[in-house]
Amino acid sequence: MQKLLFLTCILSLSLFSCNTTPSSKEKKLTLKEFTHADIGAATRPGTTTGNQNQVVVNASGADIWGTNDEFRFSYMKLKGDFDFCTQIESLTATNLYTKAGIMARQSLADDCQHVYFQVFPDNSARNNNNGGCEFQYRTEEGGEMKAIYPGSAIEKDDYNVDFPNTYIRLVRKGTDFESYFSNDNKNWKLYSRFTTTLPDELFVGLAVTSHNSEEFTAAVFSQIQLKN
Protein backbone atom coordinates (compact mmCIF):
# COMPACT_ATOMS: atom_id res chain seq x y z
CA MET A 1 0.00 0.00 0.00
CA GLN A 2 1.25 3.43 -0.90
CA LYS A 3 0.51 6.68 0.88
CA LEU A 4 1.34 10.17 -0.30
CA LEU A 5 1.18 13.52 1.43
CA PHE A 6 1.80 16.96 -0.03
CA LEU A 7 3.21 19.41 2.50
CA THR A 8 4.44 22.98 2.37
CA CYS A 9 6.86 24.00 5.11
CA ILE A 10 10.17 25.81 5.18
CA LEU A 11 13.16 23.90 6.54
CA SER A 12 16.40 25.83 6.94
CA LEU A 13 18.19 24.22 9.88
CA SER A 14 17.16 20.58 10.12
CA LEU A 15 18.86 19.46 6.90
CA PHE A 16 22.44 20.00 5.80
CA SER A 17 23.16 22.28 2.84
CA CYS A 18 24.65 20.99 -0.38
CA ASN A 19 27.74 23.14 0.10
CA THR A 20 28.50 22.37 3.74
CA THR A 21 31.79 20.73 4.70
CA PRO A 22 30.94 17.02 4.92
CA SER A 23 31.17 15.28 8.30
CA SER A 24 32.07 11.60 8.71
CA LYS A 25 28.58 10.70 7.47
CA GLU A 26 28.32 13.41 4.82
CA LYS A 27 30.24 12.99 1.60
CA LYS A 28 30.76 15.26 -1.37
CA LEU A 29 30.30 13.19 -4.52
CA THR A 30 32.34 13.61 -7.69
CA LEU A 31 32.28 11.88 -11.06
CA LYS A 32 34.43 8.95 -9.93
CA GLU A 33 31.85 7.80 -7.37
CA PHE A 34 29.25 7.07 -10.06
CA THR A 35 28.62 4.25 -12.51
CA HIS A 36 26.91 5.26 -15.75
CA ALA A 37 24.32 3.52 -17.92
CA ASP A 38 21.78 4.20 -20.63
CA ILE A 39 18.45 2.72 -19.51
CA GLY A 40 16.01 1.41 -22.13
CA ALA A 41 16.81 -0.61 -25.24
CA ALA A 42 16.01 2.22 -27.64
CA THR A 43 18.01 4.89 -25.80
CA ARG A 44 20.87 6.35 -27.82
CA PRO A 45 24.17 6.16 -25.90
CA GLY A 46 24.85 9.28 -23.89
CA THR A 47 27.94 10.58 -22.11
CA THR A 48 28.78 11.62 -18.58
CA THR A 49 31.79 13.85 -17.96
CA GLY A 50 32.93 16.17 -15.22
CA ASN A 51 35.55 17.23 -12.72
CA GLN A 52 35.83 17.76 -8.97
CA ASN A 53 33.02 20.31 -9.05
CA GLN A 54 30.57 19.23 -11.76
CA VAL A 55 28.94 16.22 -13.38
CA VAL A 56 27.68 16.85 -16.93
CA VAL A 57 25.16 14.36 -18.30
CA ASN A 58 24.34 14.31 -22.02
CA ALA A 59 21.24 12.17 -22.49
CA SER A 60 18.65 11.15 -25.05
CA GLY A 61 15.63 8.97 -24.31
CA ALA A 62 11.92 9.12 -25.09
CA ASP A 63 10.90 9.79 -21.47
CA ILE A 64 10.80 8.61 -17.88
CA TRP A 65 7.08 7.88 -17.77
CA GLY A 66 4.47 5.32 -18.73
CA THR A 67 5.38 1.67 -18.24
CA ASN A 68 9.05 1.85 -19.26
CA ASP A 69 11.83 4.42 -19.21
CA GLU A 70 14.54 5.76 -21.52
CA PHE A 71 17.25 7.91 -19.95
CA ARG A 72 20.89 8.31 -18.89
CA PHE A 73 21.64 7.26 -15.32
CA SER A 74 24.70 8.06 -13.17
CA TYR A 75 24.22 5.98 -10.05
CA MET A 76 25.60 4.20 -7.00
CA LYS A 77 24.18 1.43 -4.86
CA LEU A 78 22.97 2.56 -1.44
CA LYS A 79 21.59 0.55 1.45
CA GLY A 80 19.14 1.92 3.97
CA ASP A 81 18.31 5.56 4.62
CA PHE A 82 19.97 8.40 2.73
CA ASP A 83 19.83 12.13 2.05
CA PHE A 84 20.98 12.91 -1.51
CA CYS A 85 21.33 16.56 -2.53
CA THR A 86 22.43 18.36 -5.69
CA GLN A 87 22.48 21.71 -7.40
CA ILE A 88 21.29 21.73 -11.01
CA GLU A 89 23.14 24.53 -12.75
CA SER A 90 21.51 24.15 -16.15
CA LEU A 91 19.28 21.92 -18.27
CA THR A 92 19.06 22.24 -22.05
CA ALA A 93 15.45 22.57 -23.22
CA THR A 94 15.39 19.87 -25.89
CA ASN A 95 11.69 19.39 -25.18
CA LEU A 96 9.04 20.89 -22.92
CA TYR A 97 9.22 17.66 -20.90
CA THR A 98 13.01 17.29 -20.73
CA LYS A 99 13.82 16.10 -17.19
CA ALA A 100 16.78 15.97 -14.80
CA GLY A 101 16.83 14.97 -11.17
CA ILE A 102 17.50 12.44 -8.42
CA MET A 103 16.23 8.87 -8.78
CA ALA A 104 16.11 5.86 -6.43
CA ARG A 105 15.53 2.73 -8.48
CA GLN A 106 14.95 -0.94 -7.70
CA SER A 107 17.10 -2.13 -10.61
CA LEU A 108 18.45 -1.10 -14.02
CA ALA A 109 15.49 -2.66 -15.82
CA ASP A 110 13.56 -0.07 -17.80
CA ASP A 111 10.20 -0.93 -16.17
CA CYS A 112 11.18 -1.31 -12.51
CA GLN A 113 9.82 0.38 -9.40
CA HIS A 114 11.35 3.74 -8.55
CA VAL A 115 10.88 7.24 -7.20
CA TYR A 116 12.15 10.31 -9.04
CA PHE A 117 12.29 13.98 -8.01
CA GLN A 118 13.02 16.04 -11.10
CA VAL A 119 13.00 19.49 -12.64
CA PHE A 120 12.02 20.76 -16.07
CA PRO A 121 14.00 23.26 -18.21
CA ASP A 122 11.61 26.11 -17.31
CA ASN A 123 8.38 26.93 -15.49
CA SER A 124 5.95 26.56 -18.38
CA ALA A 125 2.57 24.93 -17.75
CA ARG A 126 2.59 21.18 -18.40
CA ASN A 127 -0.52 19.04 -18.20
CA ASN A 128 -1.40 19.00 -14.47
CA ASN A 129 1.82 20.73 -13.49
CA ASN A 130 2.06 24.50 -12.99
CA GLY A 131 5.58 24.57 -11.54
CA GLY A 132 9.15 23.76 -12.47
CA CYS A 133 9.49 20.41 -10.70
CA GLU A 134 7.63 17.16 -10.10
CA PHE A 135 7.81 13.99 -7.98
CA GLN A 136 7.18 10.85 -10.01
CA TYR A 137 6.95 7.19 -9.07
CA ARG A 138 6.24 3.65 -10.28
CA THR A 139 4.99 1.31 -7.56
CA GLU A 140 5.10 -2.03 -9.40
CA GLU A 141 7.20 -3.59 -12.14
CA GLY A 142 5.77 -2.67 -15.53
CA GLY A 143 3.15 -0.42 -13.95
CA GLU A 144 2.14 3.05 -15.05
CA MET A 145 4.06 5.94 -13.53
CA LYS A 146 2.21 8.60 -11.57
CA ALA A 147 3.16 12.02 -10.22
CA ILE A 148 2.68 14.48 -7.39
CA TYR A 149 2.15 18.00 -8.73
CA PRO A 150 2.33 21.43 -7.09
CA GLY A 151 -0.84 21.87 -5.08
CA SER A 152 -2.03 25.20 -6.48
CA ALA A 153 -1.11 28.09 -8.74
CA ILE A 154 0.05 29.98 -5.65
CA GLU A 155 2.30 27.18 -4.43
CA LYS A 156 3.91 26.67 -7.82
CA ASP A 157 6.00 29.84 -7.36
CA ASP A 158 7.75 28.10 -4.46
CA TYR A 159 9.04 25.47 -6.87
CA ASN A 160 10.11 27.55 -9.86
CA VAL A 161 13.44 26.62 -11.40
CA ASP A 162 15.91 29.49 -11.67
CA PHE A 163 19.15 28.02 -13.00
CA PRO A 164 21.79 27.95 -11.63
CA ASN A 165 19.90 28.71 -8.41
CA THR A 166 18.08 25.38 -8.34
CA TYR A 167 18.71 22.76 -5.62
CA ILE A 168 16.86 19.50 -5.03
CA ARG A 169 17.17 16.64 -2.59
CA LEU A 170 15.70 13.18 -2.12
CA VAL A 171 15.57 11.69 1.39
CA ARG A 172 14.80 8.10 2.33
CA LYS A 173 13.54 7.22 5.81
CA GLY A 174 12.58 3.56 5.72
CA THR A 175 9.55 3.35 3.45
CA ASP A 176 9.12 7.14 3.32
CA PHE A 177 10.65 9.18 0.49
CA GLU A 178 10.72 12.95 0.91
CA SER A 179 11.58 15.52 -1.76
CA TYR A 180 12.78 19.06 -1.08
CA PHE A 181 13.36 22.13 -3.23
CA SER A 182 15.39 25.32 -2.72
CA ASN A 183 16.55 28.31 -4.74
CA ASP A 184 19.27 29.37 -2.30
CA ASN A 185 20.55 26.14 -0.72
CA LYS A 186 19.49 27.49 2.70
CA ASN A 187 15.71 27.58 2.85
CA TRP A 188 14.34 24.16 1.90
CA LYS A 189 10.67 23.59 1.18
CA LEU A 190 9.25 20.10 1.53
CA TYR A 191 7.65 19.27 -1.81
CA SER A 192 6.26 15.81 -1.10
CA ARG A 193 6.30 12.80 1.17
CA PHE A 194 5.51 9.45 -0.41
CA THR A 195 5.36 6.01 1.22
CA THR A 196 6.17 2.90 -0.80
CA THR A 197 7.95 -0.41 -0.29
CA LEU A 198 11.30 -0.71 -2.08
CA PRO A 199 14.31 -2.98 -1.40
CA ASP A 200 16.84 -1.98 1.25
CA GLU A 201 19.48 -1.60 -1.48
CA LEU A 202 18.65 0.78 -4.33
CA PHE A 203 20.33 2.30 -7.36
CA VAL A 204 20.47 6.01 -6.49
CA GLY A 205 21.76 8.89 -8.57
CA LEU A 206 21.29 11.43 -11.34
CA ALA A 207 18.71 10.65 -14.03
CA VAL A 208 18.29 12.68 -17.23
CA THR A 209 16.05 12.24 -20.28
CA SER A 210 15.72 14.54 -23.28
CA HIS A 211 12.15 13.39 -24.02
CA ASN A 212 13.28 12.97 -27.62
CA SER A 213 14.80 9.71 -28.83
CA GLU A 214 16.71 11.47 -31.61
CA GLU A 215 18.12 14.44 -29.69
CA PHE A 216 20.25 15.01 -26.62
CA THR A 217 19.93 17.28 -23.64
CA ALA A 218 22.74 18.42 -21.32
CA ALA A 219 22.27 18.65 -17.55
CA VAL A 220 24.96 20.18 -15.35
CA PHE A 221 25.00 19.03 -11.72
CA SER A 222 27.22 20.39 -8.95
CA GLN A 223 27.50 20.38 -5.15
CA ILE A 224 26.39 16.75 -5.10
CA GLN A 225 26.34 15.48 -1.55
CA LEU A 226 25.28 12.31 0.23
CA LYS A 227 24.39 11.73 3.85
CA ASN A 228 23.68 8.17 4.99
In a domain, 7, yes or no: yes
Give the CA count within 13 Å in the CB-facing half-sphere of 39.
29
Contacts 24+ apart (CB under 8 A), 8-15: 8/151, 8/155, 8/158, 8/189, 8/190, 9/189, 9/190, 10/187, 10/188, 10/189, 11/180, 11/187, 11/188, 11/189, 11/190, 12/186, 12/187, 12/188, 15/83, 15/169, 15/171, 15/180, 15/188
pLDDT on residue 156: 63
Range of the domain at 8: 1-13+84-222
In a domain, 62, yes or no: no
Three-state secondary structure call for residue 76: strand
In a domain, 63, yes or no: no
- Is the confidence at residue 82, as pLDDT, over 60? yes
In a domain, 41, yes or no: no
Categorize the per-residue pLDDT at 153 as very low, low, confident or very high, splitting at 50, 70 and 90. Answer: low
In a domain, 27, yes or no: no
- Is the confidence at residue 6, as pLDDT, over 60? no
User: Which tens digit of pLDDT belongs to each residue from 91-149?
Assistant: 999 999 999 999 999 999 999 999 999 999 999 988 888 789 999 999 999 999 999 98
Number of domains in the chain: 1
User: Which tens digit of pLDDT belongs to each residue from 28-81?
Assistant: 999 999 999 999 987 899 999 999 999 999 999 999 999 999 999 999 999 999
Q: Which CATH number covers residue 106?
A: 2.60.120
